[in-house]
Amino acid sequence: AAPAADMYPRKILEYMEGFLISKTVFTSCELGVFDVLLAAERPLSAEEISQAVGASVDGTQRLLGACTGLQLLNTQWDDGQAFYSNTEQSRVFLTRSSPLSLYQSIQYSSRTIYLCWHYLTDAVRSGRNQYEKAFGVSSKDLFQALYRSDEEMVKFMHLMNSIWNICGKDVVTALDLTPFEVVCDLGGCSGALAKQCTLAYPKCTVTIFDLPKVVRVSREHFVSAADQRIGFCEGDFFKDSLPAADLFILARILHDWTDERCIELLCRIYKACKPGGGVLLVEALLNEDGSGPLTAQLYSLNMLVQTEGRERTGAQYAALLASSGFTNIQHRLTGKIYDAVLGHKET
């Protein structure tokens, strides 16, 4: 049938150009536009901002215009000249110094994820991650590729850290974890979720278990020594013995691995888990009928480009847990990016 004369491919055009929006946000953060406006404590002209960030006036003017269109900046006019200030969201989430800053995540998206996605077609064709093409490193050992330098590892840790300031409380309170006092966060990384756990459950202690070099950086730069309810354990969760615990947390761990590796890890956890204990999976759950959420669908493509794993549905996680011995499996959606699945070891 002939298309209606008034048919306009609004969505398709929006998707075609979606990367222009990402790059505008990446560049504005990288240049420090939002930080300059925060420090100034008054609206600034394009000339003032261009000087402060060390960029051309013309380029800065266009960037500020785009940020205004994206509702990341407010504009007020005085005597025919535009003056810019941060919106509330930009001040809270895009400035470097804010406790809820997404700056480091944006940097990682810009410098690493964006480069991997350049090879999405190759990833879909081959069904494999794209480290070799994007960064010239072997992807035989996933975390050796991800942590190809200390600098990359720290950047990754910042990426992992920032989201739990925003969604961490929701995932640790989605199901009642009060009965579990001795908690081990496997692959606990920078400890951001461990902190949310100790805040939500005053009686629990959390051991962050991670690769030795991650633990060292986490201990030195992310977790305060004053935080006496958080401890550390160095090791490889596929090889070394796991600490005894009432609850093991696996946040964004299983999505890195194939079903076979997930079951291998879950079986090891089942053995280490105290009777009556459990395992909490924190992941972005796909709907059972494949209809969404879009974020989880896109994350699953991201897992293809970057890891050996995938995002899964609640039923798929339940099947992995059941084949590793766990019973009474429940899941809860939080309405934000990450959800919770809890499995139990019988007494």
Asked if 237 interacts with ligand SAM (CB under 6 A), we say yes
Tell which positions 248-267 bind ligand SAM, by CB under 6 A.
251-253, 256
285, 315 contact by CB (below 8 A): no
CB atoms within 10 A of CB 90: 24
Asked if 246 interacts with ligand SAM (CB under 6 A), we say no
- Contact pattern from residue 86 through residue 125 relative to ligand SAM, giving x for each residue in contact according to CB under 6 A and a dash for the rest: ----------------------------------------
Asked if 342 interacts with ligand SAM (CB under 6 A), we say no
220, 190 contact by CB (below 8 A): no
Residue from 238, 241, 287, 328 in contact with ligand SAM (CB under 6 A): 238
Residues marked as catalytic: 255
Asked if 191 interacts with ligand SAM (CB under 6 A), we say no
Cβ density class 191-227: b for 16+ within 10 Å, e for less: bbbbbbbbeebeebbbbbbbbeebbebbbeebbeeee
Q: Which is nearer to ligand SAM, 23 or 221 (CB)?
A: 221
> Among the candidate windows 38-46, 99-107, 183-191, 315-323, which touches ligand SAM by CB under 6 A?
183-191
187, 237 contact by CB (below 8 A): yes
Write down the residue that tokens 């590729």 correspond to.
145
Residue from 236, 267, 292, 322 in contact with ligand SAM (CB under 6 A): 236
Asked if 285 interacts with ligand SAM (CB under 6 A), we say no
Q: Provide the residue type at 54 as one letter.
A: G
What tokens were used for 204? Answer: 């629990």
**If residue 111 lies in a helix (H) or strand (E), which one and from where to where?**
none
Tell which positions 71-90 bind ligand SAM, by CB under 6 A.
none
User: C-beta of 216: minimal distance to ligand SAM in Å?
Assistant: 12
323, 263 contact by CB (below 8 A): yes
Residue number with the smallest Cβ distance to ligand SAM: 187
Asked if 310 interacts with ligand SAM (CB under 6 A), we say no
User: C-beta of 297: minimal distance to ligand SAM in Å?
Assistant: 18
Asked if 227 interacts with ligand SAM (CB under 6 A), we say no
> In whole angstroms, what separates CA 305 from the centre of its chain?
15
Asked if 283 interacts with ligand SAM (CB under 6 A), we say no
User: C-beta of 214: minimal distance to ligand SAM in Å?
Assistant: 4
Asked if 143 interacts with ligand SAM (CB under 6 A), we say yes
What tokens were used for 8? Answer: 């306009």
The tally of CA atoms less than 13 A away on the side-chain side of residue 232 is 21
Asked if 175 interacts with ligand SAM (CB under 6 A), we say no
Beta strands in the chain (DSSP E): 44-45, 73-78, 81-86, 182-186, 205-210, 230-234, 245-251, 273-283, 327-332, 339-344
Residue from 188, 277, 278, 314 in contact with ligand SAM (CB under 6 A): 188
Interface residues with ligand SAM (CB under 6 A)?
143, 160, 187-189, 193, 210-211, 214, 236-238, 251-253, 256
